[in-house]
């Protein structure tokens, strides 16, 4: 018997104001959470315009006014009760949620930890209702003249919970969180007019009836907007739209990754896996892409009731959603665009070289002997050798067309980078990175047409895996053999390894098998197989590419530019290093004071 169970009177029902404060701990953890819940309520009420105002990072005041349906007096009084909602009626309704909110906890939770005022009026009524509360207790209810719709003012948040108030961050930090929430819903609903004022200063004023691209253009600079590729994909019950930035633009964190499920800002672990898979071999290590992904799916196929703050969802067909996201984003990234602008670091290097009197561009030497063929590894495809240089041709003498416009090779910078003139600026190309990308895509196409070969180990190795990963490996032995693993069961959670995929060197056999098993568990068998294959091909392409010391002939450079332009993703090498960077004539004019 558990100690104390024989004594009566130890268990009692908590009073409502305590229950509301407990709920507030889940729903309202900072001022931004209040903004989130109130904005969702306004959107669910059919508002086409929202006005958000905060003072002192939301500590002193959070005010949100909308022009939605509004409420009568009885509904307004019910709305502040816990678990009172207009959005569900029966338990089965939870399986078909089509609104932002549905639990009916937000207003009661917010009112329990603040000085709270609700003003609301139906459109066909002449007067509205005002409800004033403090710490969850009603102070006053009265008729009032007010605009149609609803406005909520939350003052002195957590005034009655000092411990929670103490853990709030600085005003600047809390304002930053509020701004992020505001932007998230601005992206989710570009059809709605939104305004944000901070400390009586207008920060955003966004008109409604906008497309997503127009809304994004209000928020971001031209470089990001130009890098966005439209996502359009539909498969069965899933429709995916939005934008994905090509690898010219990336971040050091995930704050610029937005997912919306049925217009609800939310995410799920599998979406992160899908994003990593879609951008594999095109981004530098530890860099994060920029995406705005909208997933429309039948509400019965997604569970939105798995997180207290509704930040995460669970899909009933996760593999289908994950694969659809990977395909949709990869298809979007296949669209070519102009190279990226030169980074400030590169521009500073050029400036320093000019200040030291170093030549900006040096002519590319043309060998006295016939041009060396631009060697590609032996592949099962038709790769013809380039033509030799025309007699005496040197840099800058000819132009040719490419997807970037007319290209004219000017020379070599620093003995490595190729300088190319285009119609509206110049491109700096790293020939080694460019060659790696060309080889990677050609080798990958060839590899995908046949199974990856394995290389035998000098002596078989026994590998024991954790139980969960062992189950995954046991289910996928045939797939692993197709990938080049010579593997068989050895009893229990142990396996015998006799061969590894060709190209694997200086890596622990047990670690390789564990990594592949984890990949299969997280992103699926098919995706993990493809990821492993692409990594092997990337390593092979990097080993086979030209060295930076190699002196390329003009014919070889011309061919490399044309081959790179024909790639699906011409802007990075297989491991995310840039192949080309672009400096516009406009940027040069600005640097020289001509703009």
Describe the chain by its helix, strand, coil percentages, rounded to 5: 35, 25, 40
- For residue 102, give both structure tokens: 């549905």
* Alpha-carbon span 320 to 302, nearest angstrom: 12
Specify the pLDDT at position 364: 37
Specify the pLDDT at position 475: 83
Specify the pLDDT at position 425: 87
Is pLDDT at 409 greater than 60 in this prediction? yes
Q: pTM for the complete prediction? A: 0.66
Specify the pLDDT at position 21: 57
Specify the pLDDT at position 357: 40
Q: Which of the residue ranges 246-260, 353-367, 386-400 would you say has the lowest mean pLDDT?
A: 353-367
CA of residue 344 relative to chain centroid, distance: 24
Is pLDDT at 536 greater than 80 in this prediction? no
Coil, strand or helix at 3: coil
Cβ–Cβ < 8 Å for 320, 238: yes
Q: Which of the residue ranges 195-199, 307-311, 347-351 would you say has the lowest mean pLDDT?
A: 347-351
Highest mean pLDDT among 103-112, 239-248, 410-419: 239-248
Confidence of residue 13 (pLDDT cuts 50, 70, 90): low
**Region 413-417: what's the mean pLDDT?**
83
| DSSP type of residue 148 | S
Coil, strand or helix at 217: helix
Confidence of residue 14 (pLDDT cuts 50, 70, 90): low
Residue 293 parent element (H or E): strand 291-297
Is pLDDT at 321 greater than 80 in this prediction? yes
Of 65, 28, 292, the residue nearest 194 (C-alpha)? 65
**Region 167-193: what's the mean pLDDT?**
94
| DSSP type of residue 572 | B
Helical spans, DSSP H, in 279-355: 318-333, 344-355
- For residue 322, give both structure tokens: 């994950």
CA angle (376, 381, 382) in 5-degree steps:
85
Torsion (CA) 434, 438, 440, 441 in degrees, nearest 10: 140
224-278 pLDDT, tens per residue? 898 899 999 998 899 999 999 988 888 888 889 999 999 888 888 889 888 988 8
Is pLDDT at 584 greater than 80 in this prediction? yes
Structural domains of the chain in order of their starting residue, each with its CATH number: 16-205 (3.30.565.10), 220-333 (3.30.230.10), 446-543 (3.30.1370.100)
Is pLDDT at 511 greater than 80 in this prediction? no
Is pLDDT at 389 greater than 70 in this prediction? no
Is pLDDT at 384 greater than 70 in this prediction? no
Beta strands 257-261 and 291-297: pairing type? parallel
Specify the pLDDT at position 345: 44
Is pLDDT at 313 greater than 60 in this prediction? yes
**Region 418-439: what's the mean pLDDT?**
89
């Amino acid at each position: 018997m558990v100690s104390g169970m024989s004594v009566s009177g130890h268990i009692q029902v908590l009073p409502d104001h305590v229950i509301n404060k407990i709920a507030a701990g889940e729903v309202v953890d900072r001022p931004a959470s209040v903004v989130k819940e109130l904005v969702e309520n306004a959107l669910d009420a059919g508002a086409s315009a929202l006005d958000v105002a905060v003072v002192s990072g939301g500590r002193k005041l959070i005010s949100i006014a909308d022009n939605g349906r509004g409420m009568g007096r009885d509904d307004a009084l019910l709305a502040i009760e816990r678990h009172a909602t207009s959005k569900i009626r029966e338990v089965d309704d939870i399986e078909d949620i089509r609104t932002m909110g549905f639990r009916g906890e937000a207003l009661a939770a917010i009112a329990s930890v603040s000085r709270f005022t609700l003003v609301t009026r139906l459109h066909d009524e002449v007067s509205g209702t005002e409800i004033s509360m403090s710490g969850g207790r009603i102070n006053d209810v009265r008729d009032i003249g007010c605009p149609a719709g609803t406005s909520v003012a939350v003052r002195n948040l957590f005034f009655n919970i000092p411990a929670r108030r103490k853990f709030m961050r600085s005003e600047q930090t809390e304002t930053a969180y509020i701004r992020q929430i505001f932007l998230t819903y601005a992206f989710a609903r570009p059809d709605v007019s939104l305004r944000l004022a901070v400390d009586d200063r207008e920060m955003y004023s966004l008109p409604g009836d906008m497309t997503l691209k127009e809304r994004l253009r209000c928020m971001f600079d031209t470089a990001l907007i130009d890098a966005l590729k439209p996502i359009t994909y539909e498969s069965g019950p899933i429709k995916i739209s939005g934008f994905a930035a090509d690898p010219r633009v990336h971040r050091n964190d995930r704050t610029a990754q937005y997912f919306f499920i049925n217009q609800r800002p939310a995410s799920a672990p599998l979406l992160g896996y899908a994003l990593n898979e879609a951008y594999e071999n095109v981004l530098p290590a530890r860099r994060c892409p920029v995406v705005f992904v909208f997933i429309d799916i039948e509400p019965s196929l997604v569970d939105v009731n798995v997180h207290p703050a509704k930040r995460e969802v669970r899909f009933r067909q996760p593999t289908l959603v994950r694969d659809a996201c990977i395909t949709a984003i990869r298809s979007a990234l296949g669209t070519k665009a102009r190279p990226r602008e030169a980074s400030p670091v590169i521009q500073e290097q050029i400036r320093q070289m000019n200040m030291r009197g170093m030549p900006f561009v040096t002519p590319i030497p043309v060998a006295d002997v016939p041009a060396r063929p631009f060697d590609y590894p032996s592949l099962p495809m038709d790769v013809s050798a380039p033509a030799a240089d025309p007699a005496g041709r040197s840099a800058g003498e000819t132009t040719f067309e490419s997807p970037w416009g007319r290209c004219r090779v000017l020379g070599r910078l620093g003995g490595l980078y190729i300088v190319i003139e285009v119609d509206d600026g110049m491109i700096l190309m790293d020939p080694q990175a460019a060659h790696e990308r060309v080889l990677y895509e050609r080798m990958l196409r060839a590899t995908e047409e046949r199974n990856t070969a394995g290389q035998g180990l000098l002596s078989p190795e026994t590998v024991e895996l954790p139980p969960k990963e062992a189950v995954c490996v046991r289910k996928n032995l045939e797939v692993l053999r197709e990938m080049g693993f010579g593997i068989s069961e050895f009893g229990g959670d142990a396996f015998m390894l006799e061969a590894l995929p060709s190209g694997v060197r200086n890596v622990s056999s047990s670690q390789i098998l564990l990594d592949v098993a984890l990949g299969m568990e997280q992103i699926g068998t098919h995706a993990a197989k493809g990821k492993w294959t692409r990594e092997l091909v990337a390593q092979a392409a990097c080993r086979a590419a030209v060295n930076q010391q190699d002196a390329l002939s003009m014919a070889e450079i011309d061919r490399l530019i044309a081959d790179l332009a024909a790639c699906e993703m011409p802007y990075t090498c297989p491991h995310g290093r840039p192949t080309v960077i672009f400096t516009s004539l406009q940027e040069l004019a600005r640097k020289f004071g001509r703009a």
